[in-house]
Amino acid sequence: MTRFLQNHYAMTREGARDLNKSIWWTVLQFLSFMLPIMVCTFFTRDVLRVFSGKAQDLSWSIWAYVGVSLAILALIYVINYFQYGSTYTRIYDESAKTRIKLAETLRQLPLSFFGQKDIADLSSTIMEDTNQIENLFSHNVPHVYASIISILLMAVMMFSFDWRLALALFWVVPVAALVFLSSSRYQKKVHSDVYHIKRDVADFIQEGLDNAQVIQSCNEEKNYTGKLNAKLDSYENYLIRTELLIGAVLNLANALLYLGLPTVLICGGTLLARGQVDLFTFLVFLLVSSRIYSPIFEALSNFAALKYLGVRIERMRELNNMPRQTGKEAMHPKGYDIVFEDVDFSYHEDDMLTLRRVSLIARQGEVTALVGPSGGGKSTIAKLAARFWDISRGRITLGGEDISKVDPETLLQNFAIVFQDVTLFDMSVLDNIRIGKKDATDEEVLHAARLAQCDAFVERLPQGYQTPIGENGERLSGGERQRISIARALLKDAPVILLDEATASVDTQNESKIQQAIGQLIQNKTVLVIAHRMRTVLGADKIIVVADGKIIESGTPKELLEQKGRFAAMVEAQSSSA
């Protein structure tokens, strides 16, 4: 059973083993709740014997029943204690492992995966899906299996008493189950639809939050809120319709279950009148019939909840089965030259190639500039060098080591990166810069910040370098955010530097100072620079012109200017524009 649970619910082996224990403890819990009914039944039998003259005194029996009752209470307490521990504490431990496993999976996925998924989608999976799975595993899954097992055990026990009354008691169970299971496919579809409709609403809200400025600037608030209200109304109406139908099916099954009690009364009364059963047996079945149908209905209700669990389990399984970027955790490069050998790359398997047969060398101790029209593939080349994606064909090496065989975290220890799209966190300026080197002292962080010209704006902040800057640095300008990113790279001091429009958002006055800081940063290192302003790359050692995913020119600035090709035309066009 452990293997079945592990495969069916995408659990760890230890988690499946704990769930198996939880199911059996819940079975014992359900059976223990029948013990008081059995005690009452036997006590009723003894009372009837006294009234019929078959027994004379109940004084001794009363004390025996008191002792048995106390023992049963103690047993119920012990069983519930272990059931709670196995069902809740262990399941919560498994939930924690699931979250850690999910985080590890996301950490190892290529950036191509995140390009296909939006933030709302992933956030919902990480937060809501795991919470729902935890709740269903702790409250529903053990009870479903335990109810089924308990009912089967009770059926065997009751058929051993009297098969006729047992048949009258249990004939409603397969009928109610058949009614419920007849809607099983519809329930699965409904839960899948609800899941995706809810995701669509969350995505639309996230999109509105991300583009709030655009919506306001274009006077689209009314249009946006109208669409949102329409989506919410549609979601609400769909929930009402589907829950009404599923609720009707469940209540019909419940009504059918309770037909068992009058069946037992009619059948038992007839058999009792004919003398084919005794009064005690008839009372046993009456007492059991008053209790047996509740766990059966609970099993059906929990089984309905499991349909919703299946959608989320499939989502988790999809994430866990995604191809991951792995590799060796130690690398020993011979220098830090970056070499592309006939590299092809596509963001998605079914898309056209973004890069075609790209071959280049970015040597250590040199500045290699990537220039060309927007969308030509410059940033893609820089990100592939850091293995943000895996290539479709060819080979990329760093110091002779094939980067596709190196763990991305190990590889990125050798890179300091400043991209045009800066990512900051909702913490202080000092802590944002320290991300470049976690064990850096405050003096090292402040030195890097001064080199990146951060003092100019930090001194205006209320708490200086300890000032929280908001989500993604919302309290700072684009140039200020970029200077923090440059300070990170300066602090990391890695042997390979990737600069993608590193000073694009910086004013002219500070740009020259930052260029001096970058000049200190890149000494004796492998540097890939992406720039649209030609004057910023005229001092590079080598220029590579990229257009339409191909390298069309390569050489020193002087050589390319003399060739009167694409690079020379770009320089002339920008000079004329200036």
Q: Do residues 361 and 315 both lie within one domain?
A: no
Q: Do residues 251 and 373 both lie within one domain?
A: no
Q: Specify the DSSP class assigned to residue 124.
A: I
Question: Which token pair is 171?
Answer: 């004939």
| CATH code: domain of residue 359 | 3.40.50.300
Could you give the CA distance from residue 275 to residue 165 in angstroms, rounded to a whole number? 14
Structural domain range at position 481: 338-577
Q: Do residues 216 and 254 both lie within one domain?
A: yes
pLDDT the model gives residue 121? 66
Q: Do residues 343 and 292 both lie within one domain?
A: no
Evaluated on CA atoms 354, 360, 363, 367, the torsion sign reads negative
pLDDT the model gives residue 300? 77
pLDDT the model gives residue 368? 92
| CATH code: domain of residue 16 | 1.20.1560.10
Identify the segments of the chain with pLDDT beneath 50.
Answer: none
pLDDT the model gives residue 117? 63
Has residue 330 been placed in a domain?
Answer: no
Q: Residues 102-151: pLDDT tens digits? A: 777 877 777 667 666 666 667 666 777 777 777 777 777 777 788 788 88
The torsion angles phi and psi of 417, rounded to 5 degrees, stand at -125, 135
Count of other CB atoms within 10 angstroms of residue 385: 25
Q: Do residues 315 and 367 both lie within one domain?
A: no
pLDDT the model gives residue 505? 59
Q: Do residues 264 and 357 both lie within one domain?
A: no
| β-pair partners for 339 | 361, 397
Q: Do residues 247 and 350 both lie within one domain?
A: no
The torsion angles phi and psi of 344, rounded to 5 degrees, stand at -110, 145
Has residue 58 been placed in a domain?
Answer: yes
DSSP code string of 76-91: HHHHHHHHHIIIIIHH
Q: Do residues 222 and 302 both lie within one domain?
A: yes
Q: Do residues 199 and 272 both lie within one domain?
A: yes
Has residue 239 been placed in a domain?
Answer: yes
> How many structural domains is the chain composed of?
2
pLDDT the model gives residue 119? 63
